[in-house]
Amino acid sequence: MATAELTINPEDLSQVPPSNLRIPEPTVVVIFGASGDLTKRKLLPALFHLEQAGLLPKEFAIVGVARRPLGNEFAEDMRNGIVEFGSVPATDAKLEEFAKKIHYFAMNFDDAAAYSRLKTELDSVAKQHGIGGNRLFYLSVAPEYFTEIISNLGAQNMAKPTDGSVRAVIEKPFGHDLESAKELNRHVNSVFAERQIFRIDHYLGKETVQNILVFRFANGIFEPVWNRNFIDNVQITAAETLGVEGRGPFYEKAGALRDVVQNHVMELLSFVAMEPPMSFESQSVRLEKLKVWQSIPPIAMENIVRGQYGPGSIKGEAVPGYRQEDRVDPNSQTETYAALKLGIDNWRWAGVPFYIRAGKRLAKRVTEITVQFKQPPMLIFNRGGVGDCGPIQPNVITIRIQPDEGISLRFGAKVPSTQSMAVCPVTMDFDYAKAFGKSTANGYERLLLDAMLGDQTLFAHRDGVETTWALYTPVLDAWANKKPQTFPNYVAGSWGPDCADELLAKDGYTWRKL
């Protein structure tokens, strides 16, 4: 893409309330896919945490929509989910009150006639709770239902606000390649204006991800060295120990590049690499992210590798290979691991390699970013002697996204000795939990609240989505045309395939040991 402009209509500008109070207007939150895993494990616990923190309006209701005839069972099930996944004591007094705000409406998403009944139901729930016309539609559904639901909301005049705001939150994946993403965006935009659309990437809800911007732009000492003059290379790792967890059919069509790299990892990369935005407001932040992605040249095929796990063990437990997982093709060619090198051709980053790796069934669950600095131009100390640690290690800033959230800086220190100037690497460490206490938030709190407030800063814009797809679609096409010969090529519980190590070895680097 040649331009670095967001396609913004004046009417697309999100209406962010000027106040810092951040309490949304009375709203009915409508969750499509309400009996699903995401609703129970993440969305309802997050909404309850917001209620506990006094961040929801008094007039508030949730309407879950799914196929099964659940009735009152739904509120009970959600209540149990909040206790289990939200670390909430079953005796919490607010839980009882909150459960009264949870409703359920059974329908099939394919049933066009059911949407007018849904509309009537929403109006009735709104009236019961003293809510006007504000609606937040959350599409927590498989992607094949996105267009169906959106068309029907449009057809029933449910997408245009009459006396309030109407917004739609869409879960990933936003398409499976550039063309499908464009098509989806065209369709969504034919019903909802861009300012009504909240494409969620739950990584942006993580405190540690938002903290990348605070680390860079609320401190004076890092930004002057945050560029090609001082930084040698950047590594981003998104490693999971989990396999596909019963999501075989979904993952077969996705793979690591689509599932995690094109979205979550690219969001991390944009926060590390972007220029300081004019302000922390949606158009400024999203524009700077877009400029980063637009500055990435096409990825050369020799700079990207893929892998698939075979049987192995995780934490001492034997686990099956990917091809043996439930509802996975025994000859599957889907990658469960990807590693690549990319560049960012702008004044700040030209010549600095960014190495990315992401995969399932790896040795450890860890997402982190390491920024490695250049070595000092010369060394004035006589090395060796008591306690010397060998070759000088470069300075590294490590941003630990999860699970051990924090930031550390590695630098060389003098080893105490009266005779020598021996140097060893030491670290200064910031630990999120120690500094601020352990949080029970799952990231969706912030995003749900922002969506209700109409603040799009931490949501994906259509131009950003299409730009990242433009980058990865040629790779996906090339991979589809050239079957991998060596799958499975890494053992579950290892650090991935040898080809990923070779990718860095070509440049004289190794992956950081985690």
Ligand X SMILES: NC(=O)C1=CN([C@@H]2O[C@H](COP(=O)(O)OP(=O)(O)OC[C@H]3O[C@@H](n4cnc5c(N)ncnc54)[C@H](OP(=O)(O)O)[C@@H]3O)[C@@H](O)[C@H]2O)C=CC1
Task: Return the one option of ligand LXAUTJHC, ligand X, none that residue 108 interacts with (CB less than 5 to 8 A, by type).
Answer: ligand X
Instruction: Indicate the pairing of strand 354-359 with strand 366-373.
Output: unpaired
Residue nearest to ligand X (CB): 36
Cα separation, 74 vs 45, whole angstroms: 14
CB nearer to ligand LXAUTJHC: give 129 or 400: 400
Q: Is 67 annotated as a binding residue?
A: yes
* Residue 16 binds: one of ligand X, ligand LXAUTJHC, none (C-beta under 5 to 8 A by kind): none
Q: Kindly list the strands in the beta sheet with 27-32, ordered across the sheet, starting from the edge strand earlier in the chain.
A: 102-106, 60-66, 27-32, 135-139, 166-170, 197-199
The amino acid at residue 453 is L
- 35 is annotated as contributing to ligand binding: yes
> Which tokens in the block code for residue 291?
């400029």
Is 40 among the annotated ligand-binding positions? yes
Q: Is 360 annotated as a binding residue?
A: yes
Going by C-alpha positions, the residue among 129, 133, 158, 140 that lies closest to residue 58 is: 129
Tell me: does residue 172 bind ligand X (CB under 6 A). yes
- Cα R_g (the chain), whole angstroms: 24
Residue 483 contacts residue 333 (beta carbons within 8 Å) = yes
Strand locations in 250-405, DSSP E?
Answer: 304-307, 309-310, 312-314, 317-319, 337-342, 354-359, 366-373, 396-402
Is residue 34 a contact point for ligand X (CB under 6 A)? yes
240 binds ligand LXAUTJHC (CB under 6 A): yes
E strand spans, 242-292: none
Shortest Cβ 86–ligand LXAUTJHC spacing (Å): 16
Minimum distance from CB of 198 to ligand LXAUTJHC (Å)? 16
Binding to ligand X in span 110-139, by CB under 6 A? 110
Tell the residue number behind the tokens 């190590």, with chain if given.
Answer: 501
**Separation of CA 425 from chain center:** 32
Q: Which residue has the tokens 């879950």?
A: 64
The answer to whether the annotation marks 259 as part of a ligand binding site is yes
Is position 104 an interface residue for ligand X (rule: CB under 6 A)?
no
Q: How many residues bind ligand LXAUTJHC (CB under 6 A)?
A: 5
Among 80, 108, 229, 279, binds ligand X (CB under 6 A): 108
Q: Which does 259 bind (CB under 5 to 8 A by kind): ligand LXAUTJHC, ligand X, none?
A: ligand LXAUTJHC
Burial class (CB in 10 A: 0-12, 13-18, 19+), 438: exposed
Is residue 172 marked as binding? yes
Q: Between 242 and 428, whose beta carbon lies closer to ligand LXAUTJHC? A: 242
Among ligand LXAUTJHC, ligand X, none, the one that 240 touches (CB under a kind-dependent 5 to 8 A) is ligand LXAUTJHC
Smallest distance from the beta carbon of 307 to ligand X, in angstroms? Answer: 22
Q: Decide the pairing of beta strands 423-431 and 406-414.
A: antiparallel
With CB under 6 A as the contact rule, the residue among 56, 66, 136, 159 that binds ligand X is 66
Closest by CA to 27, choosing from 451, 452, 459, is: 452
Token reading at 396 = 């590294």
Measured in Å, how far apart are the chain's first and last C-alpha atoms? 36
335 near ligand LXAUTJHC, judged by CB under 6 A:
no
- Catalytically annotated residue among 49, 103, 176, 264: 264
Cα–Cα–Cα angle for 481, 484, 489, nearest 5°? Answer: 160
Residue 183 interacts with ligand X (CB under 6 A): yes or no: no
Annotated active-site residue 264? The verdict is: yes
Nearer to ligand LXAUTJHC (CB atom), residue 262 or residue 489: 262
Q: Which residue is nearest to ligand LXAUTJHC (CB)?
A: 259
Candidates 109, 444, 459, 479; binder of ligand X (CB under 6 A) is 109
Three-class HEC string of 237-250 = EEECCCCCCCCHHH
Contact of 446 with 425, CB cutoff 8 Å = no
Strands 304-307 and 309-310 come out as unpaired
Q: Could you give the 3-state DSSP secondary structure of residue 325?
A: coil
Contacts of ligand LXAUTJHC in 252-291 (CB under 6 A): 259-260
Q: Pick the binder of ligand X from 14, 27, 134, 140 (CB under 6 A).
A: 140
CB of 242 to ligand LXAUTJHC, least distance (A): 6
Say if residue 237 carries a ligand binding annotation. no
CB closer to ligand X, 71 vs 297: 71
Q: Which of 233, 257, 127 is nearest to 510 (CA)?
A: 233
CA 279 from centre of chain: 22
Task: Check binding of 36 to ligand X (CB under 6 A).
Answer: yes
Of 306, 106, 342, whose CA–CA distance to 233 is shortest? 342
248 is an interface residue for ligand X by CB under 6 A:
no
Q: Which segment (8-16, 60-68, 270-278, 402-410) binds ligand X by CB under 6 A?
A: 60-68
Q: Is 336 annotated as a binding residue?
A: no
For 234-264, b/e burial (b = at least 16 CB within 10 A) is bbbbbbbbebbeebbeebbebbbbbbbbbbb
**206 known member of a binding site:** yes
365 binds ligand X (CB under 6 A): no
Give the Cα separation of 324 and 77 in Å (integer).
32
Pick out the residues of the known binding site for substrate. 202, 206, 240, 259, 360
Active site residues: 264
**Site residues, ligand LXAUTJHC (CB under 6 A):** 240, 242, 259-260, 367
* Positions at the binding site: 33-40, 67, 172, 202, 206, 240, 259, 360
Binding site for ligand X (CB under 6 A): 33-39, 66-68, 108-110, 140-143, 171-172, 202
Cite the annotated binding site for NADP(+) by residue number: 33-40, 67, 172
